Amino acid sequence: MIQKLIQEIKAKDAPIVVGLDPKLSYIPEEILKKSYTAYGETLEGAADAIFRFNRGIVDAVYDLVPAVKPQVAMYEQFGIPGLMAFKKTIDYCHSKGLLVIGDVKRGDIGSTSESYAIAHLGKIQVGSQTYEPFAEDFATVNPYLGTDGVKPFVDICRKDSKGIFVLVKTSNPSSGELQDRLVNGKPIYEHVADKVYEWGKDCMDGNYSEVGAVIGATYPAVGKQLRQDLPHSYILVPGYGAQGGKGKDLVHFFNPDGLGAIINSSRGIIAAYLQPAYEKFGPEHYADASRQAVLDMKEDIHNALDQALN
C-alpha cells in the first residue's frame, strides 16, 4: 500500500494529507440547517451535516491530494450515526480515488489488537461470507503495549497489502512527558523508532516498509533524527498549520529525493474559511477556501523543499 501512496503523492505532486476532523462549529449554518430540518437536532442530523461538509471538501480537493486522514474520534463522539458518517466518508473518498488513513490510534493486547486490525484494515469472516468492516488503507497505531499489540496490524499489512503509522513522537505539547524520557541515554521515542524499524523490516513494499511512523511537525529536530534512523519508513507528520508547524520545519522529515514524509493538516484546511486569510470566501464557499488552503500549503512545502534540497 505504501507504494500506492507514493505513486499518488508523485502523481499529484503533493506530500499532503487532508485531516477530515470535522466539528459542528466548523460547519456552515446552511448545511447544519438543512440536516437539522431533515433529521432534527439529533445525532443523525449532526452526522448528516458532517458527511455533507466532508463531501464538499473532498469534492474541492480530491484532485490535489493523494489521501485524507479522518480522525475517528470526531465521528465517534456522535455515537453510531457519527460512525456511520465515518464509514460513508471513507467510502466516498475511495470513490474519488483518494487513499484513506484511518486516524484511530488503536492498540491493545495481541488478541484484541487483531480485532482492531480486522476492523480497520482487514476482513472478517461471518459464516461463509467475508466483509471489510471499515476498509481504510492505513491506520495509526499506539505502541504502549509493545510488540504483541502491534504485530497483528503488521500481519494484516503483509497479508492484505495495507499500511500503518505507529505513534513515535506525537505533536501535542505534553508528548514529551513519556516519549522524551531517557532510557539508557536515549529518549523513549527513539526506542519506539527502533521497534518500528524491527516491525517494518519484513513488511517491505518496494523500498519502503508498510510500517511507518507518526512524528509531529512541532518537533522538527526529532523528525531530522528519526528520518535517519528509519530510512525505510514513511513519516506521517501531523501538527502543520493550526498546531504551529510550518513548511520550513518540515524539510528534514523528507529524504533527499523529496519522498519519505506526508504532511497532515486538518483545521487549517477544513476550517480555512473561518481564518482571516480565507474569510473572503465566506461560509457558502467554504470548500473553495479549503481548496485554496491546500494550494497554499502545497506551495509552502514545495518552496521549503526546493530551498532545502537544491
Site for its own copies in 169-228 (CB under 8 A): 170-179, 181-183, 188, 191-192, 195
**Which of 3, 42, 161, 255 touches its own copies (CB under 8 A)?**
42
Residue 105 appears among annotated catalytic residues: yes
Nearest to 103 by CA among 198, 167, 171, 195: 167
Q: Does 91 bind its own copies (CB under 8 A)?
A: no
**Radius of gyration of the chain from its Cα atoms, rounded to whole angstroms:** 19
- Contacts (CB under 8 A) with its own copies, residues 101-120: 105-110, 112-113, 115-116, 118-120
Tell me the closest approach of the beta carbon of residue 232 to its own copies, in angstroms.
21
Cell of 282: 465566506
Q: Does 74 bind its own copies (CB under 8 A)?
A: yes
Nearest to 13 by CA among 258, 274, 310: 258
**Which of 26, 51, 78, 286 touches its own copies (CB under 8 A)?**
78
Tell me the closest approach of the beta carbon of residue 189 to its own copies, in angstroms.
10
Could you tell me where the DSSP H helices lie in 161-271?
A: 176-179, 188-200, 220-229, 247-250, 267-270
- Contacts (CB under 8 A) with its own copies, residues 254-293: none
**Which of 83, 204, 274, 308 touches its own copies (CB under 8 A)?**
83
The conformation of residue 91, written as its DSSP 8-state character, comes to H
Q: Closer to its own copies by CB, 1 or 27: give it.
A: 27
Q: What does the alpha-carbon distance between residue 161 and residue 196 come to, in Å, rounded to a whole number?
A: 17
Q: What does the alpha-carbon distance between residue 192 and residue 225 come to, in Å, rounded to a whole number?
A: 13
Q: What is the dihedral of CA 209, 104, 6, 147, to 10 degrees?
A: 0
Active-site entry in 4, 34, 87, 105: 105
- Contacts (CB under 8 A) with its own copies, residues 235-254: 238
Q: Does 167 bind its own copies (CB under 8 A)?
A: yes
Q: Does 162 bind its own copies (CB under 8 A)?
A: no
Strand duo 261-265 + 235-237: pairing: parallel
Instruction: Please name the amino acid found at residue 66.
Output: P
**Which of 7, 10, 38, 41 touches its own copies (CB under 8 A)?**
41
Q: Does 95 bind its own copies (CB under 8 A)?
A: no
Q: What does the alpha-carbon distance between residue 208 and residue 200 come to, in Å, rounded to a whole number?
A: 9
Strand duo 67-68 + 16-18: pairing: parallel
- Contacts (CB under 8 A) with its own copies, residues 124-143: 124-129, 131, 133-134, 142-143
Catalytic residues: 105
